[in-house]
Chain A
Amino acid sequence: MSPNNSNQSALPKYRTIIIAVALIVGIPLGIQACNQASTRDEGRRVIQIRQPSENISGQEVAVLTQAPNVPPPITRNHPTRVIVNLDVVEKTVRLADSVEYAAWTFGGSVPGNFIRVREGDLVELHMKNEASSTMPHNIDLHGVTGPGGGAKISLTLPGHESVFTFSAMNPGLFVYHCAMSPVPMHIANGMYGMILVEPKEGLPKVDKEFYVMQSEFYTKGKYGAHGLQTLDMDKGVDERPTYVVFNGGVGAVTGDGALKAKVGDRIRMFVGNAGPNLTSSFHVIGQIFENVYGEGGSTNAEHNVQTTLIPSGGSAVVEFGATVPGDFILVDHAIFRAFNKGTLGILTVTGPENKKIIESIQSGVAAPPAK
């Protein structure tokens, strides 16, 4: 280790800390931290062969929520056994005004219930497929380590129930979805949601948390065509969605469904993209994201971000402060989708104006040509 020590004096102080951390982490794993690797890139880390928690204590039933609500932060400081009761329900949902869709859902809504657990928890997932269902279903959680993300062991006929456990070893915001064949049909029909695995140390406290999930619908009828719609497979294969929406329907995040905050609130959005085809260019008009934890990861944030990419089957955590009042519009900045396919939501911020931040001097006054 002497070469490390001799180099250290020349390095900035934070690098010393990183080396120290690397050594602390590395030594128990029997890995010799290399000086070059540990100083070159603070985002780089050795691959861990993760292990489940050894000291699971207690048991609790997870609080599940429908979008845009998020279950409360976890205050526990130890891993526990968390029971998640997620029912599969085939039901007709509202896709737009006078437009319904024969959907398949997790928990009776599109997107499905939001699940929140803590890193290290042992999750006991009960998936009941209602007797009234017409199809078998299963679940692939991207937060699960194991074949199919749980799909294989959760295959469930109508009127039956599957139970399996998994260790939530990686923190992050993960998409889950049905993976029954033909998978695109099960996803296109609404079978997706998100699970947040909070890091052990928890997330910084904020004032408002929201659950927003983008997805596409491929319907036999044109955009806005009234009545009950079902999947148009050709449009799906061609990746030509009829609708691209937040939280399951056109206008779901507007009007009564609009997200609400006050000036001074620190806001965190858990944003997912179920696809099944498109990548989202997620943007909030009139806001700059203070922090974006891209790809749903929990450690490294980008700052001062205008638009963040969210891949199909991926997520991002975006955070910002509400500084001035007004309506702030959530869009997929692939803007035809927002304008013509429904990818619009509203965050309404109330509270005092701050003219030092934005002020109108004159608005649209006729400007005669210069002489």
Chain B
Amino acid sequence: MNVAGTALSLGALSVLLAGMVHVPAGDYLPIRGMGGQRMHVAAFEMDAHAVTRGDYLAFVKTHAEWQRGKVDPKHADATYLAEWRGALEPGDAMDLRHPVTSVSWFAASAYCEAQGKRLPTTDEWEYVAAASDVSRDASQDQLFQSRLLGMYASRSTSAIAPIGRGFRNVYGIEGLHGSTWEWTRDFKPAEMTNCAGAAMGASDATNYPALLREAFRSALTERSTARMLGFRCAANAPA
């Protein structure tokens, strides 16, 4: 990245400084629960990239209770960090750049807390996820929605890409859709949505990408881990 470039936006600058991006306040249409009303989202900060295995390794080194083999089974199920070679061996140098996955909600929350951050709320996450590379709200952009479906369909657990190579949206936030699903702070939808009834009450039954994300979250418990489930952190905007 050209640090000297004068064309750097303020957003991109904050990426360089803190690894976080400032997301201005705005609103979006949640897939459920608002009766078709838009939801206001206050300004906040969000990690530009997913948390990597390398980041997570540093965390478990200083927080041994989150190492595989030591973690409380109440806080993570049996596939916690299952892809790692050992409790402190996430893999080779390339693997260190990959989003960390197979971590539970408890673990992701603890990680963010250790950084002085928190998990993004579902509203924050979805608000940012509605952005394309040119627009903050591309939820009605059929080409973009179709592109997202294509991204989800071409995902593969055997080819999770390193961070930095994924789709970067208009905020400068990267990899929200490319490699993995991501935890949110309040991941469980108000209503279970695993049946045909999922179309009922959806604010936009044609927004399949949002429905897929909601469906994934609906299958989770706080202990759940999965090879294609990672996270990134958020923080309140400075007052």
Contacts and interface: CB of A to CB of B under 8 A. Distances in A.
B80 to A, nearest CB: 11
B208 A233 contact: yes
B194 A138 contact: yes
Interface residues of B, number: 38
Contacts of B145: 233
Interface string B139-159: 000100110011011111110
Contacts of B226: 131, 157-160
Contacts of B216: 135-136
A155 B195 CA distance: 10
Contact of A181 (B215, B220, B224, B228): B215
Contact of A180 (B199, B208, B215): B215
B78 to A, nearest CB: 9
B214 to A, nearest CB: 7
B121 interface: no
Contacts of A234: 142, 146
Contacts of A152: 192, 194-195
A19 B185 CA distance: 65
Interface string B195-228: 1101100000110100110111011100011111
Contacts of A147: 195
B228 A148 contact: no
A132 to B, nearest CB: 5
Counting chain A residues whose Cβ lies within 8 A of the other chain, the interface size class is 20 to 34
Interface in B19-52: none
A131 B194 contact: no
A151 interface: yes
A159 B227 contact: yes
A133 B181 CA distance: 12
A231 B147 CA distance: 11
Nearest to A156: B219
B146 A182 contact: no
B195 A233 contact: no
A20 interface: no
B212 A185 contact: yes
A181 B199 CA distance: 8
B194 A148 contact: yes
Interface in A225-239: 230-234, 237
B14 interface: no
B153 A157 contact: no
A37 interface: no
B193 interface: yes
B91 to A, nearest CB: 16
Interface of B: 77, 79, 82, 142, 145-146, 149-150, 152-158, 192-196, 198-199, 205-206, 208, 211-212, 214-216, 218-220, 224-228
Interface of A: 102, 131-136, 138, 140, 147-148, 151-152, 155-160, 179-183, 185, 220, 230-234, 237
16 contacts: A132-B156, A133-B157, A134-B228, A135-B216, A148-B194, A151-B194, A151-B195, A158-B227, A159-B79, A179-B194, A181-B215, A182-B198, A183-B198, A183-B199, A230-B153, A237-B206
